[in-house]
Chain A
Amino acid sequence: MRFASRLNDQTPAALLLIGPALFGLLLFVLLPFLFALLTAFTNLRLGSPLPLEFVELKQFTRIFNDPAFLQALANNLLFALVVVPLQTALALGLALLLNQGLRGTTIYRTLFFMPVVFPMSLVAVVWILIFAPGPSGMMNSLLDFLSFGQWQPRDFLRDPLLALPAIMLLSIWQGAGFQMVILLAGLQAIPQELDEAAALDGAGRWQRFLHVTLPQLRNPLIFVMLITTILAFRLFDQVQIMTRGGPDNATTTVMYEMVESVFTRQQVARASAMTAVFFLLVLGLTWLQRRLVRQTREVE
């Protein structure tokens, strides 16, 4: 932008206003991020006496040959593949149920949203108790009840097959309310005339849902699915508290491996390489979302 004169050039005032935010974003977001991208190509270790070296793609070849990291990627992927559709479907179902104008909607909405205000670390600890081994464990006895006594009590969090699903379950419990609220807002933004017009055109309820509601809900749906997918790749708190990546790496995640590298082994460079991989995943997902939404974002 050019300015013919100084009249409306508010650069000094603007610098004052954006100064603090810009300082923070540059120093604590952009700079560290660029630093991570750079160090991913070095051998940087915290407190290491070795000289800093440029090691090209060595860190990347290392992590991609590390079975634990590959397992972590696979776990994240599996988590996303299961949790995103399930949680979105559940949230959509809840939103639809709550969008009928039934009496008591607010109470139900409050209940379903409540887990969202629970810190994940608390949720994780509480669910350790729920997944307690032995027949008196809450989940075990629920399954026993539902299967009319056929269920053999399992130690969920130490079972290589069940540990990850267990973590998925509590993640859905905690996260569905968030999605539900966004989808509910999306539903309420659909002009009711559309639905009525379709009804007058002779569309049944299921057809209206397919041809009116779902297309109108496209952007919120894409948004919540993106958020949940990214959340799936950020998976850490539950794993760290409940299983520490075990048993046998069955629940390890990219984030968990990353923190392990930098935290317990001081391998800054290796962790940076994982950061880069993580970032590329997030970038790809976000790009996909923007493509799907085709939104034109206005910069004024």
Chain B
Amino acid sequence: MRPQRSRPGMILSYALLSVLALLCLAPVVMMLTGSLKPDERVLTEAGTLAGFIPDQASLQNYADVFTRTDFLGFLINSLFITGTIVICGLLVNALAAYAFARLHWHGRDLLFNLVLALMILPLEAIAVPLFYGVSLLGLRDTYLAQILPFIANAFSIYLFYSFFIGLPRELEEAARLDGASTLRIFFSIILPNSKPVFASVAILSFLMWWGAYLWPLMVTIGPEVRPLPVAIAAFYTLPPLQWGDILAFGVMMVAPVLLIFILFQRWFVRGVAASGIKG
């Protein structure tokens, strides 16, 4: 704990924090209350205090979302795409990082430097050729195009690598003497002792792909494999413009994530902080 400030200082701190928290929270509350109101009142009351009070609350908007769009389908798309990227990514990138951090092999340093170099390439720098390739192969509007290219990730490898390199070497050496094979060591010794980094990487890549917009916008055409972020933008442009429905869509879209976030917020915070500590 840092030294406590004086009393007036403390009150000032709380006042500042509370004002900022209100500003931070306002759009979220507005979204939630708006989603419970009749569509026509959302826009007119957004600027008044009434915009934050859910009188006459009803779930009509939520019902409307399900009749007007295939919300469940989009949710399943998002879950499937993000889930696959995250889970496969954990395995693929952790295994690679382990080989870089611990095994002795030809070309290791060279390839690792390549990985470090690739780390600075954001998706945007490869979106065009990737889009071209996907179009040529006729893979637009598929899950494959939304999943496969993003499983291997240089930054994830780097995060895993930094963690593995700090694990005590003796653990693995003891296991080798005990007769364990490389894969066995990875799964029985490394993995159980690396929960924090797995959580960090999972959370970071989840946040990244759950909210991804650019790429799915480019490769999806119809609603079949469309994920939520693209779906809500499309829903917004779907006439008639009904703000209550849109906000209800938004609430349902973010609620599961928010719930997970509040339950595991310590891990979220740690995961994000981990991404910065190396910087």
A and B touch in the complex (CB under 8 A): yes
Contact of B126 among A29, A100, A230 (CB under 8 A): A29
Which residues of chain B come closer than 8 Å to A106, judged between CB atoms? 265
- The answer to whether the Cβ of A113 comes within 8 Å of any Cβ in the partner chain is yes
A77 and B121 CA atoms in complex are apart in Å by 19
In Å, the complex CA distance between A185 and B13 comes to: 19
Q: Are A182 and B276 CB-contacts (below 8 A) given A111-B21, A118-B211, A272-B129?
A: yes
Interface residue tally for chain A (C-beta within 8 Å): 116
Residues of B within 8 A of A80 (CB): none
Minimum CB–CB distance for A249 against chain B, Å: 19
Residues of B within 8 A of A99 (CB): 2
A22 to B27: give the CA distance in the assembly, Å.
43
Q: How far is the CB of B241 from chain A (nearest CB, A)?
A: 10
Interface of A, helix, strand, loop or mixed by DSSP: helix
Given A25-B154, A118-B254, A181-B269, are A137 and B47 also a contact pair (CB < 8 Å)? yes
Cβ of A223 to closest chain B Cβ, rounded Å = 3
Contacts A182-B272, A263-B218 hold; do A122 and B43 have CB atoms under 8 A apart? no
Contact of A23 among B2, B152, B207 (CB under 8 A): B152
C-alpha gap A219/B276 in the complex (Å):
9
Chain B residue numbers with a CB within 8 Å of A30 are 114, 118
Contact (A259, B214) CB under 8 Å given A102-B14, A223-B276, A286-B120? yes
* B1-57 with Cβ < 8 A to chain A: 1-5, 10, 13-14, 16-17, 20-21, 24-28, 30-31, 34, 42-48, 51
Residue numbers in A under 8 Å from B275 (CB-CB): 182
Contact A122 B254 (CB under 8 A): yes
| Interface hits, A186-210 → B, CB 8 Å | 186, 189, 192, 195, 199
- In the complex, how many angstroms separate the beta carbon of B14 from the nearest chain A beta carbon? 7
A147 within 8 A of B: no
Asked if B165 and A300 make an inter-chain contact with CB atoms under 8 angstroms apart, the answer reads yes
A8 to B13, CA, bound (A): 58
Decide: A102 near B10, CB < 8 A? Known: A110-B265, A136-B47, A240-B217. yes
CB distance from B19 to the nearest CB of A (A): 11
Q: Verify A125–B250 contact, CB threshold 8 A.
A: yes
**A135 interfacial contact with B, CB 8 Å:** yes
Contact B257 A18 (CB under 8 A): no
| Closest residue of A by beta carbon distance from B46 | A138
Stretch from A62-70, A81-89, A275-283 that touches the partner:
A275-283
Q: Does A117 contact B (CB under 8 A)?
A: yes
- B195 to chain A: which residues have CB within 8 Å? none
Contact B111 A121 (CB under 8 A): no
Residue among B132, B148, B218 with the most chain A CB within 10 A?
Answer: B132
Within 8 A of B (CB), among A246-262: 255, 258-259, 262
B173: shortest Cβ distance to chain A, in Å? 11
Are B277's CB and A185's CB within 8 A? yes
Closest beta carbon of chain B to A140's beta carbon, Å: 6
Beta-carbon contacts of A105-129 to B below 8 Å, as 1s and 0s? 0101111111111111111111111
Q: Number of residues in B with C-beta < 8 Å to the partner?
A: 106
Whether the pair B20, A17 counts as a contact (CB closer than 8 A) is no
Name the residue among B31, B101, B118, B127 with the largest chain A CB count within 10 angstroms: B127
A205 to chain B, nearest CB (A): 9
A46-B132, A111-B25, A114-B261 in contact; A241/B4 too (CB < 8 A)?
Answer: no
The CB with the most chain B CB atoms within 10 A, among A28, A117, A119, is that of A119
Q: A126-B27, A141-B47, A236-B214 are in contact. Are A11 and B105 (CB under 8 A)?
A: yes
Q: Of the 9-residue stretches A31-39, A50-58, A157-165, which lies at the interface with chain B?
A: A31-39
CA distance A126 to B112 in the complex (A): 42
Instruction: Chain A residues near B92: list those with CB within 8 A.
Output: 20-21, 24
B233 in contact with A278 (CB, 8 Å): no
**Which residue of chain A has the shortest Cβ distance to B113 in the bound complex?**
A299
Contacts A119-B211, A236-B124, A237-B214; A10 near B43 (Cβ below 8 A): no
Residue of A nearest to B21 (CB): A111
Question: Which residues of chain B come closer than 8 Å to A222, judged between CB atoms?
Answer: 279
One of B132, B154, B236, B269 near A29 (C-beta < 8 A): B154
Tell me the residues in window 84-116 of chain B with beta carbons closer than 8 Å to chain A beta carbons: 92-93, 95-96, 98-101, 103-106, 108-109, 111-116
Q: How far is the CA of A293 from the CA of B278 in the complex (A)?
A: 11
Residues on A facing B (Cβ under 8 Å): 1, 3, 8-11, 13-15, 17-18, 20-25, 27-33, 35-36, 39, 44, 46, 94, 97-102, 106, 108-130, 132, 135-142, 173, 177-178, 181-186, 189, 192, 195, 199, 219-220, 222-224, 226-227, 230, 234, 236-237, 240-241, 255, 258-259, 262-263, 268, 271-272, 274-275, 278-279, 282-283, 286, 289, 293, 297-300
